[in-house]
């Protein structure tokens, strides 16, 4: 029997939570919106127009991930990109649509934070602390390196050789 791995289980939980947040946003009249937009919207609202690189750094995501999210947000009318002081630099700005729906987005964010705190209190271990600990552990040592170590412990096989890069 094949059991779902850690990644599959985590992804399933995240998708379920994300879906419920999207439903809450829809209930507030925020449509055609992905929950991952909220961090961008809130950051730009609080700090003003920002470069994609700065957003990626502040939100702790890759430049590529931030760029893809911003491009999608621009297509859907949530942000606009304008030239910055340096002609090569483009600044992310909120559109009137985003500004109009900001109260609902902030209300959902605050309610979600409250729900997360209540969930943390219900669990035998703080999910927030566990996520922070997991991130710190993976910063100290990448998961890829951990996979290589685990592969080295496997009995000799063709699959192990391929995984270790020796086959």
Whether 25 maps to a domain, the answer reads yes
Whether 144 maps to a domain, the answer reads no
Strand pairing partners for 94? 79
Look up residue 159 and give its two tokens. Answer: 């699959």
Look up residue 59 and give its two tokens. Answer: 């939100």
Q: For 122-156, write each residue's pLDDT tens digit.
A: 999 998 899 999 999 999 999 999 988 888 888 87
Whether 85 maps to a domain, the answer reads yes
Strand pairing partners for 79? 94
Average pLDDT per block of 10 residues along the chain, 167 residues long? 82 94 93 94 96 94 95 97 82 97 95 94 92 93 91 74 62
Whether 130 maps to a domain, the answer reads no
Whether 138 maps to a domain, the answer reads no
pLDDT for residue 12: 94
Q: How far apart are CA 77 and CA 95, in angstroms?
A: 7
Whether 134 maps to a domain, the answer reads no
Question: pTM for the whole thing?
Answer: 0.80
Whether 127 maps to a domain, the answer reads no
State the residue range of the domain holding 28.
6-122
Whether 167 maps to a domain, the answer reads no
How many domains does the structure of the chain reveal? 1
By CB atoms closer than 10 A (0-12, 13-18, 19+), residue 80 is middle
pLDDT for residue 83: 84
CATH number where 104 lies? 1.10.10.10
């Amino acid at each position: 029997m094949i059991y779902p791995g850690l990644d599959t289980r985590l992804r399933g939980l995240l998708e379920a939570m994300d879906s419920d947040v999207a439903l809450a946003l829809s209930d507030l009249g925020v449509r055609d919106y992905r929950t991952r937009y909220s961090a961008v919207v809130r950051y730009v609202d609080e700090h003003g127009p920002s470069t994609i690189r700065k957003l990626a750094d502040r939100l702790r995501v890759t430049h590529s991930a931030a760029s893809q999210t911003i491009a999608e947000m621009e297509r859907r009318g949530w942000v606009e990109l304008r030239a910055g002081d340096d002609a090569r630099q483009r600044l992310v700005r909120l559109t009137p649509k985003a500004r109009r729906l900001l109260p609902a987005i902030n209300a959902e964010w605050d309610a979600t934070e409250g729900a997360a705190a209540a969930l943390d209190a219900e669990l035998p271990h703080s999910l927030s602390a566990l996520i922070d600990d997991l991130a710190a552990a993976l910063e100290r040592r990448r998961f890829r390196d951990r996979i290589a170590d685990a592969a080295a412990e496997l009995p000799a096989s063709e699959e192990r050789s391929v995984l270790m890069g020796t086959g």
